[in-house]
């Protein structure tokens, strides 16, 4: 088991190295940052001095080495547009994005699971058919459109929920801010979380339904019925547990996507998170922020993958042996 964990961590490190290389290459290929920072009438010596001070005149390999070394210390340089350390900019906005992403993921997982199980067990009922139809909409409608429709209905027409921002936040520790503790924070969370999680919810619902129908056809479920076990035990003990194995993989990977794709939802709801920061960085060719964001998302994906792989062992005893050897 320990060897398995170490091997997986080594693999993760290799992936992160590749991501770092790509992030670094952005510095060299996405425009000239100096042009963005100086005015048209800045003297040439001033430009050259800035170029030197940013280390842009060193050999590529030295620059990459420096980039890696700094990245290991969570130092991604200074934002061109804000003139502030990138790490601090991201850290300030990370709580907003993470709270939104985890709320959306929890919503997607819980509702998707319940609806999926219902659709599998009562597949011919009208409610199951309705869920199926709704899920098609969820899969096919683009996120920004869902967000705009929700804002129109619940914020503009009904006026129940706020249409943008995070509401009132509470400072928690050194740099974490949370919207979970205030009523306005929670209200502000509802629409963006649904918007962000809807696609994943329908995906999980359809996956759970398909998997569970598959599991219900297996011999061990037939045998469980032949032994006269209680229906509830067959459905929620024997069938659901086997259904969950592929669901864990997908749900885990989707959590990464949720964080990465929060960009669109954050834009629609003007949510003060990392995605909004990233979009501004793209508009202003603020490469340190783009590079740091890329590294961060890469790290999240790698970590989530690692966690998913380790969870398998908890659910499926057959994989524990595979991990041991």
Partner 1 sequence: MTEPVISVRDLRVEFVTRKGILRAINGVSFDIMPGEVLGVVGESGAGKSVTGSAIIGLIEPPGRIAGGEIRLHGQRIDNLDPESLRRIRGRKIAMIFQDPLTSLNPLYRVGEQLVETILTHTDLSPSAARARAIDLLNEVGIPAPERRIDGYPHEFSGGMRQRVVIALALCAEPDFIVADEPTTALDVSVQAQIIALIRKLCRERGTAVMLVTHDMGVIAETADRVAVMYAGRVAEIGPVRDVVKHPLHPYAKGLMGAIPTLEAEAERLVQIPGSMPRLSNIPQGCAFNPRCDRVFDRCHVERPDPDIPRFGLEGEAPLMPGHRVACHLYTRKTVETAS
Q: What are the residues binding partner 1 (CB under 8 A)?
A: 218-220, 222-231, 233, 237-238, 241-242, 315-318, 321
Cα–Cα dist 94/92, whole Å: 6
Of 239 and 260, the one with the shorter C-beta distance to partner 1 is: 239
Of 173 and 317, the one with the shorter C-beta distance to partner 1 is: 317
Q: In whole angstroms, how close is the CB of 233 to partner 1 at the nearest point?
A: 7
Q: In whole angstroms, how close is the CB of 208 to partner 1 at the nearest point?
A: 16
Of 35 and 218, the one with the shorter C-beta distance to partner 1 is: 218
Q: Hey, how many other C-beta atoms are within 10 angstroms of the C-beta on 201?
A: 27
Q: In whole angstroms, how close is the CB of 214 to partner 1 at the nearest point?
A: 13
Q: In whole angstroms, how close is the CB of 234 to partner 1 at the nearest point?
A: 10
Contacts 24+ apart (CB under 8 A), 176-184: 176/95, 177/95, 177/96, 178/95, 178/99, 179/96, 179/99, 180/99
Cα–Cα dist 264/261, whole Å: 6
Of 171 and 241, the one with the shorter C-beta distance to partner 1 is: 241
Cα–Cα dist 312/303, whole Å: 15
Of 98 and 315, the one with the shorter C-beta distance to partner 1 is: 315
Of 79 and 242, the one with the shorter C-beta distance to partner 1 is: 242
Helices 183-216 and 240-268, interaxial angle, to 10°?
140
Of 86 and 224, the one with the shorter C-beta distance to partner 1 is: 224
C-alpha separations of 136 from 129, 139, 152 in Å: 11, 5, 21
Q: In whole angstroms, how close is the CB of 138 to partner 1 at the nearest point?
A: 29
Question: Please, are residues 261 and 276 in contact by the beta-carbon 8 Å criterion?
Answer: no
Cα–Cα dist 292/75, whole Å: 9
Closest C-alpha to 287, from 17, 86, 88: 86
Q: In whole angstroms, how close is the CB of 2 to partner 1 at the nearest point?
A: 21
Burial readout 248-279 (b: 16 or more C-beta within 10 A, e: otherwise): bbbbbebbbbbbbbbbbbbbbbebbbbbbbbe
Q: In whole angstroms, how close is the CB of 307 to partner 1 at the nearest point?
A: 20
């Amino acid at each position: 088991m320990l060897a398995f964990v170490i091997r997986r961590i080594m693999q993760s490190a290799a992936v992160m190295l590749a991501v770092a290389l790509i992030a670094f290459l952005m510095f060299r290929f996405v425009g000239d940052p100096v042009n963005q920072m100086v005015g048209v009438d800045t003297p040439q010596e001033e430009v050259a001095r800035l170029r030197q001070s940013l280390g842009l005149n060193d050999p590529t390999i030295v620059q990459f080495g420096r980039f890696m070394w700094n990245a290991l210390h969570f130092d991604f340089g200074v934002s061109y547009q804000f003139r502030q350390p990138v790490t601090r900019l991201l850290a300030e906005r990370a709580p907003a994005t993470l709270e939104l992403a985890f709320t959306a993921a929890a919503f997607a997982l819980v509702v998707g699971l319940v609806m999926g199980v219902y659709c599998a067990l009562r597949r011919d009922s009208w409610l199951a058919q309705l869920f199926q139809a709704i899920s098609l909409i969820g899969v096919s409608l683009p996120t920004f459109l869902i967000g705009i429709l929700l804002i129109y209905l619940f914020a503009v027409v009904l006026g129940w929920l706020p249409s943008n921002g995070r509401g009132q936040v509470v400072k928690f520790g050194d740099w974490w801010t949370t919207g979970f503790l205030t009523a306005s924070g929670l209200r502000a969370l509802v629409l963006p979380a649904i918007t962000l999680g809807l696609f994943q919810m329908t995906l999980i619902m359809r996956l759970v339904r398909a998997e569970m129908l598959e599991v219900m056809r297996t011999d061990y479920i037939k045998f469980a019925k032949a032994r006269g076990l209680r229906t509830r035990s067959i459905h929620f003990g024997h069938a659901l547990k086997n259904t969950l194995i592929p669901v864990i993989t997908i749900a885990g990977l989707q959590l990464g996507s949720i964080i990465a794709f929060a960009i669109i939802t954050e834009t629609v709801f003007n949510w003060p998170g990392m995605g909004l920061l990233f979009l501004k960085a793209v508009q202003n060719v603020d490469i340190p922020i783009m590079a740091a964001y890329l590294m961060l998302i890469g790290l999240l994906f790698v970590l989530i993958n690692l966690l998913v792989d380790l969870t398998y062992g908890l659910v499926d005893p057959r994989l524990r042996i595979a991990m041991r050897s």
